[in-house]
Amino acid sequence: MNSRKSVGRDCLARTFALVFLGVMMCGVTLGGPVLLHYGATNPELEGWEPDPGIGTGVTTVAPILNDGGYDAWFVSDNAASVNGSSDGYWGSLTPAQKAVADTWGWRFRSRLRVANAPDTGLGSVAIYYFDGITQWLLDFESGPAGEQIVTAVSGTGFSGISFNTGSPGYHLYEMVYDPTSGTTDVLVDGIERIWNWTGISNPIQTGRFKFGSASSPDSGQGNYNTVEFSVVPIPSSFLLVATGGLSILLARRKT
């Protein structure tokens, strides 16, 4: 092979490799937790944005310590009618984070409990995410013995697919979005309980996630121990395959 051509191709392959790895590293950097609430800390100190009704008589908030072994921040919707605004705490994705979330997926999880028993759901205790097309909302309620029930909302009036945990107290709820199928799975305490959920159409907002009351026509208190929205990083297995493929490409260029 002409040596000048060979050097040129090597240079091209190396440039491609650097650009490729740069893009991949950028994707990895963008992955991981975007915003986290933990324990009894005021979410505003953690970077969450409060709705106007937060801390008013309509919606009271406060720390709560050793609540069955967990510290938490509670959000209590005190209005049995629809609130003037949705009363919760917001976080937003940057356009770059939103692009990674759309392509590689996202996870929104919370360890919480509905404090009153019984308490109908109807959005008074909720976590949700707007992806620009669909709203993914988990609605929480409790039964007579305080057993915690989660509903993946897919219709009007907060109707949807429900799972009864069968026990009171805190549980860990996770929404995991699969960009391949465009559906979301719901895990409770690490076990998949709801799958192939398609959410509910809502193109009004994009790249925003929230916990608290969703302008509910109902009252109710949620005690939030953990709330975390994560953009899913590029899987390391993909990186291995990609870099492996690149090595083969470079080796072939050299022969």
Residues that bind Ca ion (CB under 5 A): 77, 79, 83, 119, 124, 216, 218, 220
Beta carbons of 70 and 126 less than 8 angstroms apart: no
Among 73, 194, 71, 180, CA closest to 125: 73
Min separation Cβ 176 and Ca ion, Å: 25
Pick 58 or 232: Cβ nearer Ca ion:
58
Rounded CA-CA distance 145/112 in Å is 16
Beta carbons of 187 and 204 less than 8 angstroms apart: no
Min separation Cβ 187 and Ca ion, Å: 23
Min separation Cβ 196 and Ca ion, Å: 27
Among 215, 221, 218, CA closest to 60: 221
Rounded CA-CA distance 137/4 in Å is 60
Min separation Cβ 75 and Ca ion, Å: 11
* CA angle in degrees (0–180, nearest 5) for 241-16-104: 45
Min separation Cβ 84 and Ca ion, Å: 10
Pick 135 or 216: Cβ nearer Ca ion:
216
Name residue 67's beta-bridge partners. 70
Pick 83 or 223: Cβ nearer Ca ion:
83
Pick 34 or 214: Cβ nearer Ca ion:
214
Pick 52 or 182: Cβ nearer Ca ion:
52
- The kind and range of the H/E element at 101 are helix 95-104
Min separation Cβ 88 and Ca ion, Å: 11
Ramachandran category for residue 37: left, alpha or beta (phi over 0 → left; psi -120 to 50 → alpha)? beta
Pick 215 or 230: Cβ nearer Ca ion:
215
**Which residues, at least 6 apart from 231, have a Cβ–Cβ distance to it below 8 Å?**
30, 31, 32, 34, 93, 97, 100, 101, 104, 106
Measured at CB, which residue is nearest to Ca ion?
220
Among 130, 147, 145, 235, CA closest to 188: 147
